[in-house]
Structure 1
Amino acid sequence: METRLLGRTGLEVSLIGFGGIPIQRCNQWEVDEIIENLIEEGVNFIDTARAYTNSEKMIGEALKQWGREHFFLATKTPQLRYDDVIADVKASLCDLQTDSIDLYQFHNAKTMAAYETIMGPGGGYDALADCKKQGLIKHIGITSHSYEVLERALEDDRFETIQFPYNIVENRGAPLFEKAKLSNVGVIIMKPLAGGAFMNADYALRWVAENPNISVLIPGMDSVKQVLDNAKIGNDFVPLSETERQTLEADAKALGKTFCRRCGYCAPCPQGIDIPMQFIVEGYYRRYDLEEWALDRYRSFAANASDCVSCGECEPRCPYNLPIREMLTKTRELFDPLV
């Protein structure tokens, strides 16, 4: 597996890392198999978060079996203030069953006001700095979907890593990564597959990996097959050919800008709708000539777009500010006449 330096942390991390958000829907034995195969494929970086329900706990159980020493562990807190951050660090240590976490990050600092709270008196940064002095964590990072927040973080020069979405559609981060490289700050790429929206996952990952300023890509994985497929990119990295690049660009053009990244932050829906899956099957129907398959999947859902009551609880939780209710209406209008 190709490795890259994670900025000033000094950690030599695998080009392909493991994104821990989707294993929330896995059983423990499935996570155990995933961790085993990560080791075999040379993946040595795991990213999870307090907000990913039981992800930390299942990873901790799997590492108890397969060995903590194989991985650099990264997790995240959504908390902003000192005491709350301390509580989350202690919970993470317990759930991951480890004495020290390699990288602890602030999770999705959405606004400059949130950032100022983290960095201000009684804020979370001081909490992580104290945890680092105590050896509970080794490095401090920050994640965000806001370019401006991470640009400010780089200016303050107190974080060792940043994490930001980046793929052929969401490519705004490239100048940010150049600045990070100059400051010796590690760059972690979330959403390299745009939440699974691309038909050619291989091409999408290679497009991201071509950027020399990034350190590690963390596609979410919830199966051994995904581990094996994604690890191939790091184990035998080859830049895109012109034909492959044109294919990916056509895929991206068809996708557009307003699409679901399957991050899952919109959940839970009070009506029991798996919102990302609604948009996935719609995409397969509209863009990929899989009409019958998509319609069968839509019919199989216990709750679907037709059950949306437009309560709006999902929309404030979406980091991309998607008009989810409007999108669900379009999904309903597509499928309901066919069901």
Structure 2
Amino acid sequence: MEVRKLGKTDYNIGVVGFGGIPIQRLDEEEAVRLIDLARKEGINFIDTARGYEASESLIGIGIRGTREHWTIATKSMARDYESMKKDIEISLKNLCCEYIDLYQCHNVRTKDQYDQIMSTNGAYKALDEAMKEGKIKAIGITSHDIGILGNAIETDYFSTIQFPYNAVERQAEDLFKKAKERNIGVIVMKPLAGGAITKGNLALRFILENPNVSVVIPGIDRIEQVAENAAVAKSFIPLNKDERQALEKLAKELGSKFCRRCGYCLPCPQEIDIPTQFLMEGYYTRYDLKEWAATRYSSLPKKASDCIKCGKCETRCPYDLPIREMLKNVTKQLG
């Protein structure tokens, strides 16, 4: 498998990793089997999060006896010092590890959240302490906002960034280039555009053509996915003209109805977190995480059904999405 260095860390990782969100719906035996097969196929980077329910614990069981093979990444939504400190300890326990290779600030949405994380009593302080104590080896940050990560890579605080990237969502290419120049690792999530791209082989090959990408982490929950994903990295073949045109056609077709979670539609007068509505819908309809997505959706303080159809969001959307109709569909799917 092709190996790339993960930014300023000491880790050399296979370019195709193991995205750990979908295994939360598997039983222990099946999850362990997937993880073991991934190891045998040469996959050595695995990504999870505190918010992925049983994912951390299943991975902890799955890597027993093979810990040194893996570069383990997890993440937390904690924004303050005490919450992050607590989450680090929970992750260590769940993953059955003495240390975690990469701990990330998860889904930083706004400048206020970023400022809180970096404040005197913010989450970063807990991460920095844990790194000095040897409990974590590197610190990263994930976001759906290019501006947040653009600011982050101008500092020396983070070893990695994680952002969606695929044939449909290409807005981060300049960000990735700048990150590579600053020796910051680039982790690609949502390689299949939330399931909108059905040809996984083409999707992964498209991403790996970008030399600024360190690793791509497709979600894995089936045996056949492991070998298929690993095969792309073992014998990489650039896209041919027809394959590239097929992806370009798909991107064009999705352009009028696909939320890229840039956040320009916000703030909503009704305080609806519009991108999150579409994110939960994607998990519900395309990732087969119906119960998980429905539970997350039900906990949102404002839902798609609260839309009063004022249309202000649509005037801000750089992709001219029919957001009001899309929110109506979210209500239809998730209630």
Instruction: Please report the TM-score for the alignment, with normalisation by the length of structure 1.
Output: 0.80
Number of equivalent positions = 300
User: Residue in 2 aligned with 1:232?
Assistant: 231
2:88 maps to 89
CA distance in 1, matches of 2:95, 2:81: 21
The question of whether the paired residues in 1 share the 8 Å contact of 2:18 and 2:47 is answered with: yes
Is there any run of 5+ residues in structure 1 with no aligned partner, and where?
A: 269-273, 282-296, 335-339
* 1:160 correspondence with 2:159: yes
- After superposition, what is the alpha-carbon deviation per residue over 1:174-233, rounded to whole angstroms, capped at 9, x for unaligned? 010111111100110011111221122111111111000110000111111111111111
Q: Work out the CA distance in 1 between the residues paired with 2:93 and 2:301.
A: 35
Please give the alpha-carbon distance, in whole angstroms, between the structure 2 residues aligned to 1:98 and 1:330. 43
Residue equivalent to 1:144: 143
Cα deviation for residue 255 of structure 1 reads: 2.1
Name the amino acid aligned to 2:115: E
Letter in 1 for 2:124: Y
Whether the 8 Å CA contact 1:315–1:324 is kept in 2: the answer is: no
Q: Determine if contact 2:304/2:327 at 8 Å carries over to the other structure.
A: no
Contact 2:7–2:160, Cα closer than 8 Å, also in 1: yes
Contact 1:199–1:251 (8 Å) recurs in 2: no
Aligned twin of 1:55: 55
Comparing 217-226 with 252-261, greater Cα deviation is found at 252-261
Question: For residues 6 and 303 of structure 2, what CA distance do their matches in structure 1 show?
Answer: 34
Q: Distance in 2 between matches of 1:180 and 1:332?
A: 38
Match of 1:276 in 2: 282
* Partner Cα separation in structure 2 for residue 27 and residue 207 of structure 1: 32
SS in 2 for 1:157: coil
Identity of paired residues, percent? Answer: 46
* Residues 10 and 16 of structure 1, relative CA distance in 2, 3 Å threshold: same
| Partner in structure 2 of residue 75 of structure 1 | 74
Residue 278 of structure 1 contacts residue 331 of structure 1 at CA under 8 Å; is this kept in 2? no
2:73 match: secondary structure = strand
Equivalent position SS for 1:195? helix
Preserved contact between residue 195 and residue 282 of structure 2 (Cα < 8 Å): no
Which residue of 2 is the match for residue 285 of structure 1? none
TM-score norm. by structure 2 comes to: 0.81
CA deviation after TM superposition for structure 1 residue 254, in Å:
1.9
Shift of 1:135: 0.3
Q: Alignment partner of 2:94: what SS?
A: helix
- Aligned partners of 1:58, 1:205: CA distance in 2, in Å? 25
Q: Report the alpha carbon displacement of residue 267 of structure 1 after superposing the two structures with TM.
A: 11
CA distance 1:331–1:99, shift in 2 (3 Å): closer
CA 1:278–1:102: 2 relative to 1, 3 Å: closer
> How big is the shift at 1:260?
6.9
Equivalent position of 1:112 in the other structure: 111
Residues 321-330 or 173-182, more deviating: 321-330
Q: Does 1:189 align with 2:195?
A: no
Q: Which residue of 1 aligns with 2:8?
A: 8
Mapping of residues 1-339 of structure 1, within 5 Å: 1-64=1-64, 66-256=65-255, 258-259=257-258, 275-276=281-282, 279-280=285-286, 313-314=302-303, 326-327=325-326, 329-330=328-329
Aligned partner of 1:51: which letter?
Answer: G
Superposition RMSD in Å: 3.2
Cα distance, 1:314–1:3 mapped onto 2, change above 3 Å: farther
Encode CA deviations 1:88-110: one digit per residue, 9 max, x unaligned.
Answer: 00000000000000000000110
Any conservation in 1 of the 2:278–2:330 contact (CA below 8 Å)? no
Offset of 1:56 from its aligned partner?
Answer: 0.2
**CA, structure 1 residues 109+213, in 2 after alignment: closer, same or farther (shift >3 Å)?**
same
In structure 1, what is the Cα distance between the partners aligned to 2:278 and 2:163? 21
- Structure-2 separation of matches of 1:257 and 1:122: 42
- How far does residue 276 in structure 1 lie from its aligned partner after superposition? 3.5
Retained in 1: the 8 A contact 2:194–2:286?
no
Amino acid at match of 2:217: I
Gaps of 5+ in 2: 261-274, 306-316
